[in-house]
Amino acid sequence: MTELTISISILAVIFALVAFFYSSVGLGGGSSYTALLAIFGAGTAVIPTVSLSLNVLVTTIGSMVFLSKKHARLRLIVPFLISSVPMAYVGGMLHLPKMLFYFVLLISLSLAALRIYFPKEIAPLPLEDKGKLLLALCCGAVLGLIAGIVGIGGGVYLVPLILLLGLGTAKEAAACGAFFIWVNSVAGLAARWQFNSLDLTPYIPLIIAAVVGGLAGSVFGAARFEPRTMQKILGSILVVAICLLGRKMFVLYI
């Protein structure tokens, strides 16, 4: 914990807010957890493990809430899971050099922010069932690998893919996003624990904060909040994280 440049109590409050906003739209928050830990000095070996752990906890809550309200159809995400789970495990085995890790993270955050701020009305692709299956398998593999490497669950990308393929509604896509993040985070985390010996005890305050925020966000988001409003808030969080991470990379590079 000595490497952090911010009080763990302050960071816990920030994590609780992040978990609240992300879980309200069926996401785990891994992108922001990872970015915040990187910005505030956590080691690149610790970051994915903490982020994946928080993803598992937050999306466990989110999945249960969305499932209880009958928004989820698990059959929608089976093709994505078939390829993403083994690739998430492979990604969890990897330990990238610091600058390469930051670069992959920065690209992932930027793509997520663009998706939030520049949404389009998604019309289903005119694909046959075989074409949809192949595309789902390919996309699942990419998202799973990213999940394992940097601790981002990939739900922010999966939701529009489900709509693009015409597999479900916006609510169903959000619910499936939570379950998708949970499964891939478990796979990536399993590899992290198997190949890295880390003590997460100092990060318990962050874990507790994320669970509390995730529970509140899931309950309110599944029933009351307008998803588009919450996504704009998430976009703001990502933009700030991108700027701070870019600055950190620039300082390290020079």
Domain ranges of the chain: 8-253
- Residue 199 tokens read as 């003590």
* Phi, psi of 42, deg, nearest 5: -70, 150
Distance CA 62, CA 177 (A): 10
Local structure of 154: helix, strand or coil:
coil
Weakest-pLDDT range from 100-104, 200-204, 232-236: 232-236
Distance CA 4, CA 207 (A): 16
String of b and e for 100-124 (b: at least 16 CB within 10 Å)?
Answer: ebbebbbebbebbbebbeeeeebee
Across all residues in the chain, what is the average pLDDT? 78
Reported as a single tens digit per residue, the pLDDT across 169-182 is 766 777 777 778 88
pLDDT at 87: 92
Spatial contact of 238 and 112, defined as CB atoms under 8 Å apart: yes
Distance CA 238, CA 211 (A): 20
Q: How confident is the model at residue 227 (pLDDT cuts 50, 70, 90)?
A: low
pLDDT at 10: 92
Distance CA 226, CA 231 (A): 9
Distance CA 203, CA 146 (A): 23
Distance CA 49, CA 222 (A): 27
Distance CA 191, CA 186 (A): 9
Query: Among residues of the chain, what percentage have pLDDT more than 70?
Result: 78
**Of the candidates 98, 99, 19, 93, the residue with the CA atom closest to the CA atom of residue 60:** 19
Q: Which residue has the higher pLDDT, 23 or 50?
A: 50
Q: What is the mean pLDDT of residues 148-158?
A: 77
Sign of the Cα pseudo-torsion (46, 145, 39, 53, in order): negative
Spatial contact of 177 and 158, defined as CB atoms under 8 Å apart: yes
Q: What is the mean pLDDT of residues 88-117?
A: 81
Predicted structure pTM score = 0.74
Name residue, tokens 């870019």: 246
Distance CA 173, CA 74 (A): 10
Reported as a single tens digit per residue, the pLDDT across 3-31 is 788 889 999 999 998 888 877 766 677 77
